[in-house]
Amino acid sequence: MAVEDPAETRPAAGSYAELYARSVEDPEQFWLEAAHAVDWDITPQRALDESRAPLYRWFPDGRLNLCHNALDRHVAAGRGDQTALIYDSAVAGGGAGQGSSTQESFTYRRLRDEVARTAGMLSALGVKAGDRVILYLPMIPQAPIAMLACARLGAVHSVVFGGFAAAELASRIDDAAPDVVLTASGGIEPSRRVEYLPTVAEAVRLAEHHVSHVVVSHREGFAHSRAEAAAGSAAQWHDWEAALADAEPAAPVSVAATDPLYVLYTSGTTGRPKGVVRDQGGTAVALSWSLPAIFDVGPGDTILTASDVGWVVGHSYIVYAPLLAGATTVLYEGKPVGTPDAGAFWRLVQDHRITTLFTAPTALRAIRKADPQAERVGDYDLSSLRYLFAAGERLDPETQRWIGEALKVPVIDNWWQTETGWPIAANPAGVELLPIREGSATLPAAGYRVEVLDPFGEPLPAGQEGNLVIRLPMPPGTLTTLWGDDQRYIDSYLTAFPGCYTTGDSGYIDQDGYVFVMGRTDDVINVAGHRLSTGEIEAAVAAHPAVAECAVIGLADELKGQRPSGYVVLKAGAQIGEEQLREELTAQVRSTIGPVADFKDVAVVGALPKTRSGKILRKTMRQIADGEDYRVPSTIEDPRVIEELMPVLRRAAG
């Protein structure tokens, strides 16, 4: 297939309704047309393979190399001098708190060459197509380079969020069975340095699977050396930079579209991690379609996805989608606040002329808490910014309104999961910017048939909350299975509602088809027989002018079964007594939802417990309050928050 300029593969302007109808009525033709955005070694003649349903495969007769699509073809098209990747660290080199940053840019040509040599380094260690490589890296250029190097060889990468404990890393080593682990000296937080090497050494020791090679990228300022970590280890430990210097560039390897691109682990209910498998061809097509169609990003545009490469958002919209589209992507090592202040994102927009910013609602709430009047926005030139997108947790209407008024750009929520890899519901800004409804992720994206079912699998009418499911087959780019365990995939996602993928989210679809995601299904509480969404109550609480962030959980109640209990973080400088706040919030929830909510319990806290990706640990909070057995996830951002919250939760439970 001839090399195409990605600028020519943007979705044609027109009606979302027409586009969506084609995607669900004739998915075969729709996705074969979308596949024209990809440079194939063997062009697929079929889109969907249903022969092993409910295990579906996309583009079964196609072959390609995803790294070639992300890098080489742009260089071949004469765009090698365009900037592909910008690394901006607000914490490296003493930048945190000083308003300075460390920056480095990579053209498409330079990035291709770095990736080719890194692939050669891996090949010299014996890595070949189908082999697994674990990446335990901070937000430095080596992370996306290593991901793309694996894709270049047809190897399967599994990025483990830097900072996971040794036991968690070991469990992923045992499941993925890699011969090679790629890591660095450590990661840098605003107030501390996180040493990686002792953790990696311990994980390699704990794992039953034998890791042959550990490759370490050296960063200045860390206490533990590669030699110390290697002492007594059965693995060979290598210096990344030295190994790279000796490496020969590797060419892209052609692989089947149905071969795995990566495994990304998400927590399992049994404690055993679930390895979500993303394929090569479906991922290439879905991300090539979604970035211009949903995010309106293409060549000449710059996107900042303020996430981590360890999360699915980082995989899809820091690394793969922007490079497939020929855009410029920003890799940010820092925080939305504290590096140095609540203007961190706005500084990035100004410095790099960012056109699209994509972040998590929790980051926006952190900015609002530190800068409630959005004063920092006025300190920077944000004229390049066209959109702000948010995903990862429900974007409450109050925060959406606040940031929209501050930035004067559309603020667009979108709903998706690690398992889906790209948005399930979104506003297709690159096709047709639809009216924004606060609290809604807008309409289903191409190929997603979203339904709301009751506990018995019966469809619910418009406006009624229930289980959000996706009718099978799901579109390309979604998970194909769980690593090494098809049956676990079926049992975990495909059995509760036959013919559907169970999202585990609760919500409703309004009369116009807009999707409202209210929270996880275990965040629905039953108060005296009335099913209430904690997300709905949180939206009412968050509307109070003193509240920066909140969480509502359901506590056991002898009389009513459950009762809602709220925990709020106040904005910086808020002056209000706790009793007055309780009275005002009770009245606000009563007027918004009704007396049926029976909302009376409010506690002011310093912080809410969250995962590093920004999800509030509501289930853990409820288990602690109700005296149940609980397990603090290894992904928790700061364990001290849980410790400080324990007495508050137990008092609330009585």
Beta-bridge partners for 569: 549
Percent of the chain topping pLDDT 90? 71
User: Roughly how many angstroms between the first and final C-alpha of the chain, as a whole number?
Assistant: 68
**pLDDT of 12 strictly over 70:** no
pLDDT at 144: 98
**pLDDT of 232 strictly over 90:** no
pLDDT at 99: 58
Q: What is the 3-state secondary structure (H, E, C) of 560-602?
A: CEEEEEEEEEECCCCCCCHHHHHHHHHHHHHHHCCHHHCCCEE
Question: Taking Cα atoms as reference points, which of 358, 347, 350 lies closest to residue 321?
Answer: 358
Question: Taking Cα atoms as reference points, which of 317, 324, 321, 325 lies closest to residue 299?
Answer: 325
Phi (first) and psi of residue 591, to 5 degrees = -75, -30
Distance CA 37, CA 24 (A): 20
Residue range 465-521, pLDDT digits in tens: 999 999 999 999 999 999 999 999 999 999 999 999 999 999 999 999 999 998 777
Q: Span 88-110, mean pLDDT?
A: 82
138 in Cβ contact with 186 (< 8 Å): yes
Distance CA 33, CA 445 (A): 16
Phi (first) and psi of residue 289, to 5 degrees = -80, -45
Residue range 340-389, pLDDT digits in tens: 999 999 999 999 999 999 999 889 988 999 999 999 999 999 999 999 99
Which residue is associated with the tokens 């860390």? 222
pLDDT at 455: 87
What band does 2 get if pLDDT is binned at 50, 70 and 90?
very low
Question: Taking Cα atoms as reference points, which of 235, 241, 245, 246 lies closest to residue 185?
Answer: 241
**pLDDT of 200 strictly over 80:** yes
Beta-bridge partners for 105: 86
3-state secondary structure of 210: coil
Q: Which amino acid is at 289?
A: W
Distance CA 19, CA 446 (A): 7
Its pTM stands at: 0.85
pLDDT at 334: 95
Question: Taking Cα atoms as reference points, which of 375, 146, 346 lies closest to residue 240?
Answer: 146
Q: Would you state the structure tokens that stand for residue 305, as one six-digit string?
A: 């996805």
38 in Cβ contact with 69 (< 8 Å): yes
* DSSP letter, residue 4: -
Percent of the chain topping pLDDT 70? 95
For the chain, what percentages of helix, strand and coil (3-state, to nearest 5) are there? 35, 25, 40
Residue range 570-620, pLDDT digits in tens: 999 998 998 999 999 999 888 777 777 888 889 999 999 988 777 888 888
222 in Cβ contact with 195 (< 8 Å): yes
pLDDT at 14: 61
Q: Would you state the structure tokens that stand for residue 173, as one six-digit string?
A: 């080593």
Distance CA 171, CA 215 (A): 19
Q: How does the average pLDDT of the chain come out, rounded?
A: 91
**Residues near 264 by Cβ (< 8 Å), separated by ≥ 6?**
158, 159, 275, 276, 278, 312, 315, 418
Write the DSSP string, 394-413: ---HHHHHHHHHHH-S-EEE
**pLDDT of 409 strictly over 90:** yes
pLDDT at 530: 64
283 in Cβ contact with 335 (< 8 Å): no
Question: Taking Cα atoms as reference points, which of 221, 88, 70, 253 lies closest to residue 145?
Answer: 70
CB atoms within 10 A of CB 594: 12
pLDDT at 9: 44
563 in Cβ contact with 555 (< 8 Å): yes
- Residue 99 falls in which region: left (phi positive, over 0), alpha (psi -120 to 50) or beta: left
pLDDT at 509: 97
174 in Cβ contact with 289 (< 8 Å): no
pLDDT at 94: 56
Q: Would you state the structure tokens that stand for residue 327, as one six-digit string?
A: 């855009």
Q: Span 532-554, mean pLDDT?
A: 88
CB atoms within 10 A of CB 509: 24
What stretch of H or E contains 390? Answer: strand 387-390
Question: Taking Cα atoms as reference points, which of 121, 423, 132 lies closest to residue 246?
Answer: 121
What band does 7 get if pLDDT is binned at 50, 70 and 90?
very low
3-state secondary structure of 450: strand
pLDDT at 527: 75
User: Per this entry, what is the length of the chain?
Assistant: 654
Pairing of strands 481-482, 466-471: unpaired
What stretch of H or E contains 151? Answer: helix 142-153
pLDDT at 496: 93
Pairing of strands 180-184, 213-217: parallel
pLDDT at 268: 53
Phi (first) and psi of residue 595, to 5 degrees = -65, -20
Distance CA 654, CA 651 (A): 5
pLDDT at 629: 82
What band does 96 get if pLDDT is binned at 50, 70 and 90?
very low
Which stretches within 277-385 are classed as H helix? 281-295, 312-314, 321-324, 344-352, 361-370
Torsion sign over Cα 248, 254, 260, 262 = positive
Q: Would you state the structure tokens that stand for residue 177, as one six-digit string?
A: 């069975």
**Residues near 205 by Cβ (< 8 Å), separated by ≥ 6?**
233
pLDDT at 118: 98
Write the DSSP string, 460-510: PPTT--EEEEEESSP-TTS--EETT-HHHHIIIIISSSTTEEEEEEEEEE-
- Of 172-176, 391-395, 504-508, least confident by mean pLDDT is 391-395
**Structural domains of the chain ordered from first start:** 6-66+279-518 (3.40.50.12780), 109-260 (3.40.50.980), 528-653 (3.30.300.30)
Number of H helices, E strands in the chain: 21, 32
More confident residue, 274 or 98: 274
**pLDDT of 162 strictly over 90:** no
Q: Span 255-273, mean pLDDT?
A: 83
Q: Would you state the structure tokens that stand for residue 460, as one six-digit string?
A: 């619910």
Q: Span 66-91, mean pLDDT?
A: 97
Q: Span 539-550, mean pLDDT?
A: 91
- Of 139-143, 223-227, 289-293, 400-404, least confident by mean pLDDT is 223-227
What band does 26 get if pLDDT is binned at 50, 70 and 90?
very high
pLDDT at 396: 85
